[in-house]
């Protein structure tokens, strides 16, 4: 199995407000070779929706 570029870990959790910037970060991770791990977690901090999405590198099995 190859390793992620730039010393990135094989497992990452991306978090942030549910906006276009967050969606771009997830899309960039997918384009790099990560894949979604399960569905996102969503919460509300009193002002905005916050999302967390785990991604894993390549084929790590399920």
Mean pLDDT of the 44-55 span: 98
Q: How far apart are CA 44 and CA 19, in angstroms?
A: 13
Per-residue pLDDT band for 2 (boundaries 50, 70, 90) equals: confident
How many CA atoms within 13 Å lie on the side-chain side of 41? Answer: 9
- Whether the pLDDT of residue 8 is over 50: the answer is yes
Contact 52, 15 (CB under 8 A): yes
- Whether the pLDDT of residue 59 is over 80: the answer is no
Short-list 51, 54, 27, 49, CA closest to 41:
51
**Predicted TM-score (pTM) of this structure:** 0.86
Q: How far apart are CA 46 and CA 20, in angstroms?
A: 20
């Amino acid at each position: 199995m190859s390793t992620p570029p730039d010393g990135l870990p094989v497992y990452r959790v991306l978090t942030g407000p549910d906006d276009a910037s967050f969606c771009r970060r997830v899309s960039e991770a997918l384009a790099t070779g990560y894949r979604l791990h399960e569905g996102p977690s969503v919460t509300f901090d009193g002002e905005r929706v916050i999302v967390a999405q785990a991604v894993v590198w390549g084929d790590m099995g399920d």
